[in-house]
Amino acid sequence: MFGRLPKEQSQAVGVRRGEKIIAWAMGATHAVVATDQALYLDESTRLTWSQITKATWEEPFLDLVIEGNATNAAIPPRIRKQLDDARDLPRAVNAKVTESVVISERIELDTGVIAQFIARRDGDAISWSVVFESGVDPQDPSLRASADRALTELRAALGI
């Protein structure tokens, strides 16, 4: 059937029970599957929408930027996936990544550094990330303390 992902392809990438498939595409050897909750790149790589900070499509490549992931260090910060038959997967990925963003706010910290604060929804949970402007050391304790203060103020102002 055109349009429906064959059941064996869904099982091969390990789509979890209860997740609704919204789009899929064919990679070199298997399907890449987007569900209402995650993107399955293969049988060992499941990315929730909140883990993907950026997705771009330049045929035939889907490029993903991944949020730092302490739970699975095997996932690289950037992934490039070639799709032989993209179908509507790139559009669905873009929509789900965008949909996961609750707020994105650029703030000048008390140190003078500009930081981007992003809140993403993953189910009922909200996770925050902070991206500093280039050329600064994100491990600098004073910079991190400044970002923590700004995040606390932002969360209080938004009620998140």
Tokens 């932002």 correspond to 154
pLDDT of residue 76: 85
Strand 114-122 relative to strand 125-132, pairing: antiparallel
pLDDT of residue 70: 45
Per-residue pLDDT of 128-157, as tens digits, reads: 989 898 899 989 999 999 999 999 999 999
Per-residue pLDDT of 95-119, as tens digits, reads: 999 999 999 999 999 989 999 999 9
Nearest-angstrom CA–CA distance, 121 and 104: 12
Identify the band that residue 28 occupies on the pLDDT scale cut at 50, 70 and 90.
Answer: confident
Please enumerate in sequence order all residues whose Cβ is within 8 A of that of 37, keeping only pairs 6 or more positions apart, or say none: 16, 19, 48, 49, 123
pTM to 2 decimal places:
0.81
The domains of the chain, with CATH numbers, are: 7-100 (2.30.29.30), 101-158 (no CATH)
How many Å from the N-terminal Cα to the C-terminal Cα in the chain? 44
Q: Are 14 and 46 in contact (CB under 8 A)?
A: yes
Amino acid at 102: V
